[in-house]
Amino acid sequence: MHGGGLFPVPECTNPVWPCALTGAAAFLAGFRGLSVVIHGSSGCYYYPRSLIKAPLFGSFIMQDEVIFGTGDRLRSVISDVSKDSERVAVVTSCVPALMGEDLASELDGFSALLIDSPGFLGGAEAGYRIASEVLLREATVTTEGVNIGGICLLDPFHRGNLHESRRLLAMAGIPVGAVISYDRLDALSRLAPVTVYANPDYTASGYDGGTLLGFSAIKKTFSSLSGDPSSVLAECDWAEELVIAACEKYLRRNDPPNAAICSQAGYAGFFADLLVRYLGSDTPLILRRNETDTPAVTDYDQIADALHGDSYNLIIGSSYEAQMKPDAGFVGVTPPIRGRIVIGSRPLAGIEGVITAVEMILNALMDKKKRV
């Protein structure tokens, strides 16, 4: 498909990454007290529902409504959902967006927001930004401290990232404002003026205050915030010594890994830096899921062709790439991650996130060695 508007995406025949609708739904579903209605077909509901693991509602429009209008069905769904909700957010899918209906008028009389984020606008990150722009228009900066951003229900590490971000901010004596987006809806009335991002690919509008991916980023971010960063900086140094020791022990008996990374740009850069800095790897092959200074690579066949171009012994990505390279060590960081139980709160952000990432890499490589 071809993207439009501000978020163009390359032509993709067999996509492996969620669309803008899914990203918008993930942002909104992170706020308790806000019910999310997917205005589209059953497929446009069940796909994000399978990834987000949070309550969603659907309008399930039918064929005849594509011709005669979807307004009556949408109002009926919102009427039912509103009975048990503080507020409702409606996310448009491709079909009603292309029909050109005046859906805003259908929301008259309801405490509802319209999020125009059909899938053809781009990937999940585009939808996340669109939804954040609409919801945060109503937010007010009323508290001191720092918001935690980059929390997204699509990210397998979002809960761990949140816990670790809170821990580090508490160490520095910095109060937390709102969590974007994993908080109560009324948290937007106590927004702080600065946001630090656990996952920099899920950014909200404004309030930028740095990222928490990797030791260097953590030190830079905390050195720029109000509060006392000394405890955080000291723990960074201690944890880095542990990482160096573990990687040197591995390298005494093994060659540096030859890795390919298929993930969002932030996590890709994070893992690439760890591999080069601590494990002596050459610069890994990086196939980014989202658009950056280079085009996104989200077509299954394109990814398969790229991975078969070399003998990689470490794959960092999703179950798609694991299936393409079954003999390589595998680190799952990108949905979908199938055949594994992922219910804990492991982080990739923060100090514990670096330790977790290095553990995952070394264990994947050693497991592969045992299989050979």
pLDDT at 66: 75
pLDDT digits (tens, 9 = 90+) for 184-225: 999 998 899 999 999 999 987 666 789 999 999 999 999 999
- Give Cβ neighbours of residue 275 (< 8 Å, ≥ 6 apart): 256, 257, 259, 281, 284, 314, 361
Q: For residue 163, what are its two tokens?
A: 């816990």
In this structure, the answer to whether residues 95 and 112 fall within a common structural domain is yes
**Is 275 part of a structural domain of the chain?**
yes
Q: In what order do the strands lie in the sheet with 87-92?
A: 57-58, 34-39, 87-92, 112-115
Determine the Cα–Cα distance for residues 166 and 170; give it in Å rounded to an integer: 6
Q: For residue 117, what are its two tokens?
A: 């984020």
pLDDT digits (tens, 9 = 90+) for 318-354: 999 999 999 999 999 999 998 888 788 999 999 999 9
> Across residues 229-252, what is the average pLDDT?
98
**Is 340 part of a structural domain of the chain?**
yes
In this structure, the answer to whether residues 198 and 100 fall within a common structural domain is no
Determine the Cα–Cα distance for residues 324 and 311; give it in Å rounded to an integer: 12
In this structure, the answer to whether residues 363 and 276 fall within a common structural domain is yes
pLDDT digits (tens, 9 = 90+) for 256-290: 999 999 999 999 999 999 999 999 999 999 999 99
Determine the Cα–Cα distance for residues 177 and 249; give it in Å rounded to an integer: 41
**Is 15 part of a structural domain of the chain?**
no
**Is 41 part of a structural domain of the chain?**
yes
Q: How far is CA 308 from CA 304, 305, 319, in A?
A: 6, 5, 16
Beta pairing, strands 285-288 & 259-263: parallel
pLDDT at 208: 77
In this structure, the answer to whether residues 289 and 330 fall within a common structural domain is yes
Determine the Cα–Cα distance for residues 219 and 232; give it in Å rounded to an integer: 8
Determine the Cα–Cα distance for residues 30 and 52; give it in Å rounded to an integer: 9
Which range among 5-14, 85-94, 101-110, 136-145 shows the weakest confidence by mean pLDDT? Answer: 5-14
In this structure, the answer to whether residues 75 and 126 fall within a common structural domain is yes
**Is 10 part of a structural domain of the chain?**
no
In this structure, the answer to whether residues 246 and 339 fall within a common structural domain is yes
CB burial of 317-354 (b: ≥16 within 10 Å; e: otherwise) equals: bbbbbbebbeebbbbbbbbebeeeeeeeebbbbbbbbb
pLDDT at 6: 44
Q: Which of these, 145, 119, 149, 144, lies nearest to 132 by C-alpha position?
A: 149
In this structure, the answer to whether residues 244 and 223 fall within a common structural domain is no
Q: What is the per-residue DSSP string for 28-93? A: HHTEETEEEEEES-HHHHHHHHHHH-S--EE----HHHHHH-SHHHHHHHHHHHHTT-SEEEEEE-
Rg (CA), the chain: 21
CATH number, position 253 = 3.40.50.1980
Q: How far is CA 92 from CA 57, 103, 110, 121, in A?
A: 12, 9, 17, 11
The last residue of one of the domains, among 115, 136, 157, is 136
In this structure, the answer to whether residues 184 and 212 fall within a common structural domain is yes
Determine the Cα–Cα distance for residues 368 and 370; give it in Å rounded to an integer: 5
Determine the Cα–Cα distance for residues 126 and 371; give it in Å rounded to an integer: 40
In this structure, the answer to whether residues 190 and 101 fall within a common structural domain is no
**Is 5 part of a structural domain of the chain?**
no
pLDDT at 1: 33
pLDDT digits (tens, 9 = 90+) for 117-174: 999 999 999 999 999 999 998 888 888 899 999 999 999 999 999 999 999 999 999 9
Instruction: List phi, psi (to 5°) of 196.
Output: -105, 145
Give the model's confidence band at 9: pLDDT under 50 very low, under 70 low, under 90 confident, else very high: very low
For the whole model, what pTM was predicted? 0.92
In this structure, the answer to whether residues 251 and 309 fall within a common structural domain is yes
Domain of 352, in residue numbers: 233-371
The last residue of one of the domains, among 209, 227, 245, is 227
The last residue of one of the domains, among 227, 242, 260, is 227
pLDDT digits (tens, 9 = 90+) for 72-92: 889 999 999 999 888 999 999
| AA identity, residue 66 | V
In this structure, the answer to whether residues 253 and 355 fall within a common structural domain is yes
Asked whether the beta carbons of 74 and 59 are under 8 A apart, the reply is: yes
Q: For residue 299, what are its two tokens?
A: 């077509």
**Is 66 part of a structural domain of the chain?**
yes
Domain count along the chain: 3
**Is 6 part of a structural domain of the chain?**
no
Torsion of CA 15, 19, 22, 28, to 10 degrees: 150
Instruction: List phi, psi (to 5°) of 176.
Output: -95, 130
CA quadruple 341, 347, 352, 354: dihedral sign? positive
In this structure, the answer to whether residues 320 and 283 fall within a common structural domain is yes
Q: How many residues does the chain have?
A: 372
